[in-house]
Chain A
Amino acid sequence: VRPPPQLEDVAVERALVARLRERYATLDAEASHTALRVLRSGRAWLDPAVSEERLAAESRGADHLALMRALGFRAEIVVPLVAGDGALGTITLVGGEGRSYDRDDLALAEELGRRCATAIANAGAFAAAEEARREALRAAERTRHLQEITQQLSRSLDVEDLLDAVARSAAALLAAPVGAVFLLDRADGEADFALVAAHGIDAARVAALRLPRHASLAGRAVDEGRTLVVDDARAVAGTALPALLTGQSAGSEIAAPITAGEERLGVVKAFSPTARRFRPDDAELLSALAAAAAVALTNARLYREARDAIRARDEFLSSAAHDLRTPLTGLKGMAQLLLRQATAGGAPDPGRLVEGLTGLDASATRAARQVDQLLDITRLRAGEPLELQRRPTDLVALARGAVAEWQQASDAHRIRITDGDAQLVGHWDAGRLERVLDNLLSNAVKYSPAGGEVLVALRREEDGAGSWAVVAVQDRGIGVPRAELDRIFERFRRGSNVPVPVVGSGIGLASVRQIVEQHGGEVAVESEEGAGSTFTVRLPIGAVATGALAR
């Protein structure tokens, strides 16, 4: 019995019957053929002398009748093939050329039918078991492969290696010729996809390949948060993968979103330019691979961030030590020099004595300021607020002092205060604002290595929120790349265009922002790479209590 509604001869013995079978291979389930009756009733059938009427009734046309006659069709036995509850088919024995059948023949045929049925049922069960076993093996093999890949991914902390492994694994797992990873360009998940790794394609086609964020299979997979399969890639709008990567646009495509928590990172895709279609278990596998990739990528990124933070901290510590050694050298050297003169019994020149002691004091002040800054930075790192020492403070006077100090340090730069108010007094922490000005001027000098003008503008501004003291420091130096302007106030962050020999800890602007914001103010930067930068600090001028001005 083949799946309904047909009965099919599956074995024939004689050449003539073979020809019958060729022409009349299947029997209609509706027909009143003996075999069908036997099959339905489950009872054997014996006709020791087939009449002409029956022969005509059973025949399936004139040709058929002629053939049966030529065969000498005389007697017939039909036995059912029954195994368990199911009728598998029938065996028909035809007594041709004058041979008839009796009851003994029928009993023998029935026994034959039973044994055949058992054998057929066993063979069928065995084949089904074999197929199930093979399928289970295939599934186990794929699971093992996936497990192996997952382990391999979890071991790697190098992002490039990881992405390559994911692309390669997508192709291997799905037995597809092409695997690829696309990542979203920005953390907010709204930029286009960029190809970051690919397997099985011409490397020359890979560079700078992008997919639209929306209206693409990748975009839909990311938006719907599930793996999507397309049987015919030609039907997908906005996917450049097949045509661009393989030169063929016909084929099946599959995309699984890579997401870490809420964050959408990108997709892993596979493409098969042949007729092979991806199946539901392919989608499951690729989803599992994408999940493993997301974990591994997150690990790698955290590792890289931790490593960068440690390196930045080490550089910062080394830079902080460096910054402290210079004032210590001035302190120690001058103290030893004056001591030498005193022990030699000579009276030091009074002018030089005053100058030397003044310098000693300045060096000590500088060292103390650096220690203060270090302590503030540890608070910044710990996310703790500063304890501001607010006193009536004149920003103009602080700026004049800072400008004089930096003008003395560099004669390649012309540092000057352009215009503005004679006094800008607020209730501020004088020591910390000195540090703000020191950092801004230090950057202006440091990042304009060719020298030139550094302008410091001081003014008072009024707006709906009240009065503001504004100081802007403008240089004509190397500037800050546009893409990095947002991040320039982060800790340990320096512009990518800063030449290597420029000493710096990447902490100055983070400190500036910390101090200014704690005063209720704000700091902003405008810059053009190669043309210079302007840093603008705005401090609120509240009611100032009367009292002595801080210096």
Chain B
Amino acid sequence: LSDGSEGQAAPPGPILVVEDDAQVRRTLEWTLEAEGLPVRVAPTGRRALELAAAERPGLMLLDMGLPDIDGYAVAEGVRAAQGPVPILVITADGRAAEKAERVGALGYLSKPFELDELVATVRRALGVG
């Protein structure tokens, strides 16, 4: 109560990046860090559930095609543990909009995407862009 945050809403949690491809994961992590945003990364659905249980994410970037459990199960698990968490869907197939709607996401990014587009979409989702 002495850190000067009285009267402010709790700061949103970090951005949780859930992506199985190492290079894409690295790119997302470094780009968002360079924007000054806190980032956590998970290469699998299970790791994502662990991280989300430990710390409520402010936003989740979710690849729908994961090797262990699918994106829908991850979204469901995170929301069950932490309540509503805004989600941006990342997908490589042609049905990004459909998947985003099904999972109740704010929006989506279709692979391959531009970094400018990534940053703009994330900022819009965080309501600070």
Residues of A within 8 A of B (CB): 318, 321-323, 325-334, 336-337, 340-341, 352, 355-356, 359-360, 362-363, 408-413, 445-446, 449, 451, 501, 503
Contact = CB atoms under 8 A, between A and B. Distances in A.
A503 B44 contact: no
A333 B28 contact: yes
A325 B44 CA distance: 19
A451 B68 contact: yes
B94 A318 contact: yes
Contact of B24 (A330, A356, A445): A330
Contacts of B30: 337, 352, 356
Given A356-B26, A359-B23, A451-B68, A329 B92 contact: yes
Contact of A333 (B47, B65, B67, B115): B115
A439 to B, nearest CB: 14
Given A329-B113, A412-B68, A449-B68, A334 B23 contact: yes
Contacts of A321: 92-94
A325 B113 CA distance: 10
A503 B112 contact: no
A411 B47 contact: yes
A411 B92 contact: no
A500 B40 CA distance: 30
Contact of B22 (A337, A359, A503): A359
Given A334-B27, A356-B26, A409 B67 contact: yes
B39 to A, nearest CB: 14
Interface in B1-48: 20-24, 26-28, 30-31, 34, 43-44, 46-47
The interface residues of chain A, by DSSP majority, are classed as helix
Nearest to B112: A329
Interface residues of B, number: 30
Given A329-B92, A332-B112, A337-B115, A411 B22 contact: no
Nearest to B71: A501
Contact of B26 (A355, A409, A413, A501): A355
A441 B26 CA distance: 23
B23 to A, nearest CB: 3
The 4 lowest CB-CB distance pairs between A and B, nearest first, are A330-B23, A333-B27, A325-B92, A329-B112
Contact of A410 (B27, B65, B68): B68
Interface in B74-111: 92-94, 111
Contacts of B69: 449
Nearest to B69: A449
Given A325-B92, A325-B111, A409 B20 contact: yes
B59 to A, nearest CB: 18
A332 B23 CA distance: 10
B23 A451 contact: no
B127 to A, nearest CB: 24
A340 B68 contact: no
19 contacts: A323-B92, A325-B112, A326-B24, A326-B92, A329-B111, A330-B21, A336-B114, A336-B115, A337-B34, A340-B115, A360-B23, A362-B22, A362-B23, A408-B22, A409-B44, A410-B67, A410-B68, A449-B69, A501-B70
Nearest to B47: A411
A68 B92 CA distance: 115
A359 B65 CA distance: 20
Interface of B: 20-24, 26-28, 30-31, 34, 43-44, 46-47, 65, 67-70, 72, 92-94, 111-115, 118
A503 B68 CA distance: 11
Residue among B23, B24, B46, B112 with most chain A CB within 10 A:
B23
Nearest to B93: A322
A445 B113 CA distance: 27
Contacts of A501: 70, 72
A333 B28 CA distance: 8
A327 B23 CA distance: 8
Contacts of A451: 46, 68
**Max chain A Cβ within 10 angstroms of own Cβ: one of B31, B34, B115:** B115
B77 to A, nearest CB: 14
Contact of A327 (B21, B31, B67, B72): B21
B26 A359 contact: yes
Contacts of A336: 114-115
A340 B24 contact: no
A503 B23 contact: no
Nearest to A405: B22
Contacts of B118: 333
A324 to B, nearest CB: 8
B27 A330 contact: yes
A398 B100 CA distance: 38
Nearest to B20: A409
A333 B44 contact: no
B44 A363 contact: no
